[in-house]
Structure 1
Amino acid sequence: MKLSRIPLLGRVGIAIVLGIVIGQFAPVWLASIFATFNSLFGNFLSFVIPLIIIGLITPAIGELG
């Protein structure tokens, strides 16, 4: 079965179940790696999203005037 045939809600449910099962058996060092990645990615998004918004709004305002 193709992955694209599974609806989005089904894929999210599968990911949650797999995360719970893998989390029960994963060593602590693997969990700390994921926590570090989560923190770095969150900080990156917090930095980039305002820049993307400014980059999209500035040309739109320039076209108005």
Structure 2
Amino acid sequence: MENKTFNVEGMSCNHCVNSIEGALKQIGANGKVDLNAGTVSVEFDGSKLSAAQIKEAIEDQGYDVK
């Protein structure tokens, strides 16, 4: 398993947390949102998912990944 932390802009509430964590779960990743830090820590199988796919899943929810 791999771990990567993404800086994400636009998150402000529990809806944001649920939206992002749910989207990551759908693609087979385990995400943990930290609203205060503006980050999403993701654990994923690097043989099945890429960082680009994770970034796309977050951006598809309407957030900016830096």
TM more than 0.5: no
TM-score (norm 2): 0.26
Higher strand fraction: Structure 1 or Structure 2? 2
The structure with the largest alpha-carbon Rg is: 1
TM-score (norm 1): 0.26
Higher helix fraction: Structure 1 or Structure 2? 1
